[in-house]
Amino acid sequence: MSEPHGPAGIIVAQASPGTLPAASGVEIAVPAAEAHGSNFPPFDVHTFPSQLLWLVIAFAALYLLMSRVALPRIATILEERHDRIADDIEEAGKLKAESEAAAEAYEKALASARTKAHGIATETRDTLAAEAETRRKSLEADLNVKLAAAEVQIAATKTAAMANVRGIAVEAAGTIVNTLIGTTPTSGAVEEAVDTAIKG
Amino acid sequence: MASGSVIDPIHQFQIIKIVELGQPGGVELAFTNSAAFMFGIVALVFFFLTFATRGRTLVPGRLQSLAELSYEFVASTVRGSAGNEGMKFFPLVFSLFIFVLTANMVGMIPYAFTVTSHLIVTAALALLVILTVIIYGFVRHGTHFLHLFVPSGVPAFLLPFMVVIEVISFLSRPISLSLRLFANMLAGHIAMKVFAGFIVMMTASGVVGWFGAVLPLFMVVALTALEFLVAALQAYVFAVLTCIYLNDALHPGH
Amino acid sequence: MEAEAAKFLGAGLATLGMGLAAIGVGTIFGNFLAGALRNPSAADGQFARAFIGAALAEGLGIFSLVVALVLLFVV
């Protein structure tokens, strides 16, 4: 950025020792201003009118270009994006609501299915229990009938057996008496004696 | 002038006439390097913004992000300082901000001319702001705009002094606004030039000087970084203060 | 005293104002930092304000630089 040998101004100079005042490596030299402030460009009034003129033109052009072209353009881009994002957010919200509704419906279906299943289970249990009860009852009745029949049969068998026993006893008694005493008792007396013994 | 290597830190601010336009009405007019840089800045800003947004893509690229970032940044600054009502001045504030920022940044390029290092330029911009404030204030609020100078809740015997102070502070605004920018750029560029001059001076004095020149070299590097910061910061401060002054025009007598 | 010499002395004295402005800027950023360390969440909101304050304080120091420049080059 350094451009040597400019016109008068602040001069930071490393000069040959002969030309400088003693003990001074740095000299700030300001020549007397011929025209007012002309040695310091920012304070040079001669350049002011043209700078002002061009600044006005340039800044007006910039303002017009910015306000008419560039800024509306960026604004529309940002707005579009904003709208798009808002739309997307809205849609996402809608989808979320939908999914929530679906989840709720699922939950409801699940609950109803559960109650239904519970009902079915209870019903099934009840019917099964009732069925089992009836089956048990019929079985019991059946068994009772069979028991009764068996008892009757037992009684009959017993009676028959008793009769057989009596016959055998009479015969045996007759034979024994015959063997012992050699006489054959009358069958009527033997039967009477056996009956007395059985009853006794 | 002294002989040897002479570093003139003022030379960089020299206005060079490129085309002389004569002297209509006794004032000297010319197309200067300053004017060329002004138009260069305008063209640079405009072509950058239009080029960056040429795709109008939904998902921005690098350049478009930069353009959008500058837009959003200035817009949030305006909204923060002057409210939503202040958005009608948004093109003005944006133009000022981008002009000053680009001028400062272009000025950091070696051999380039710094437009904002000239008092008349910054003064014109500051006057533009303050005239906008005054004219809009009176058009919008009429004499109510003068309430700006009458702070509320001040004892009666203090009021005259307060009014005088408020008027002075209002009048000093364009001065401080323009001088701040001007002097920051001027002082920064002079400082960089002086330290760069030290390097040249030291290297001219032989091998020992080469090692001695390392110190001012680091200084120049640091100063350059600082000047980039200052260039951005002063553009921002200019824009923010513009917004604050515009807020006075929008809501006087707060 | 020579008028030229007085001019340079005046310019040098005027630049003292820049050092005083530096105290102001330092105070602003020091206090900003102290506050920011106490309450870091509130720091971002006050960042712009700190810079505006620094710019205002610096502007006054810049005035003294301008006075020095005027003394050097204009008077």
Sorted by sequence, the CB contacts under 8 Å of residue A170 that are 6+ apart come out as: A187, A190, A191, A194
Total residues found in chain B within this entry? 254
The strand pairing partners of B7, in sequence order, are A4, A12
Helix (H) or strand (E) holding B200: helix B159-204
Complex ipTM value: 0.87
Which residues of chain C from 8 to 47 reach within 8 Å of chain A, CB to CB? 8
DSSP C2-21: -HHHHHHHHHHHHTHHHHHH
Residue spans of the domains in chain C: they are 23-75
User: How many domains is chain A built from?
Assistant: 1
Please check the confidence at residue A35 and state whether its pLDDT lies above 70. Answer: no
Q: What percent of chain A has pLDDT over 70?
A: 80
pLDDT of residue A21: 43
CA–CA distance from A131 to each of A136, A146, A149, B160 (Å)?
A: 8, 22, 26, 110
Helix (H) or strand (E) holding B18: strand B17-20
Total residues found in chain C within this entry? 75
What average pLDDT does the structure give for chain B?
87
Token pair in block for residue B208: 């020992």
DSSP A142-198: HHHHHHHHHHHHHHHHHHHHHHHHHHHHHHHHHHHHHHHHS-PPPHHHHHHHHHHHH
User: Is some CB atom of chain B closer than 8 A to the CB atom of C22?
Assistant: no
The Cα B111–Cα A3 span in angstroms is 8
The Cα A120–Cα A112 span in angstroms is 12
- pLDDT tens digits, B116-141: 999 899 999 999 999 999 999 899 88
Q: Is the residue at A112 inside a domain?
A: no
Q: Looking at beta carbons, which pairs linking A7-10 to residues 24 or more positions away fall under 8 Å?
A: A7/A39, A7/B8, A7/B11, A7/B14, A8/A39, A8/B1, A8/B8, A9/A39, A9/A40, A9/B8, A9/B9, A9/B10, A9/B11, A10/B8, A10/B9, A10/B10, A10/B190, A10/B194, A10/C72
Asked if A159 contacts A127 with a C-beta cutoff of 8 angstroms, the reply is no
| Interface contact A74-B53, CB threshold 8 A | yes
The Cα B216–Cα B214 span in angstroms is 6
Asked if B86 contacts B251 with a C-beta cutoff of 8 angstroms, the reply is no
Instruction: Work out the average pLDDT over A47-57.
Output: 89
Instruction: Work out the average pLDDT over C60-72.
Output: 83
Residues of B in contact with A67 (CB under 8 A): 91, 95
Q: Is the residue at A88 inside a domain?
A: no
Sorted by sequence, the CB contacts under 8 Å of residue B133 that are 6+ apart come out as: B245, B246, B248, B249
Residues of B in contact with C55 (CB under 8 A): 180, 233-234, 237, 241
Least confident of A36-40, B109-113, B205-209, C35-39: A36-40
What average pLDDT does the structure give for chain A?
79
Segments of chain B with pLDDT less than 70? 1-7, 253-254
Residues of B in contact with C69 (CB under 8 A): 183, 186
| Residue A163: band (very low, low, confident or very high) from pLDDT cuts 50, 70, 90 | confident
Q: Which chains touch A (3 or more CB pairs under 8 A)?
A: B, C
SS3 at position B213: coil
- pLDDT tens digits, A73-108: 888 888 888 898 999 999 999 999 999 999 999 999
Instruction: Work out the average pLDDT over A116-120.
Output: 92
Q: At what angle do helices B119-141 and A48-65 cross, to 10 degrees?
A: 60
The Cα C52–Cα C58 span in angstroms is 10
The Cα A17–Cα B185 span in angstroms is 34
Q: What percent of chain C has pLDDT over 90?
A: 41
What average pLDDT does the structure give for chain C?
87
pLDDT of residue B1: 34
Instruction: Work out the average pLDDT over C9-38.
Output: 92
Asked if B193 contacts B220 with a C-beta cutoff of 8 angstroms, the reply is no
| Interface contact A42-B196, CB threshold 8 A | no
SS3 at position B248: helix
pLDDT of residue C46: 84
Sign of CA dihedral A91, A94, A100, A101: negative
Q: Is the residue at A29 inside a domain?
A: yes
Q: Residue A16 sits in which domain range?
A: 7-42
User: Is some CB atom of chain B closer than 8 A to the CB atom of A4?
Assistant: yes
| Interface contact A71-B42, CB threshold 8 A | no
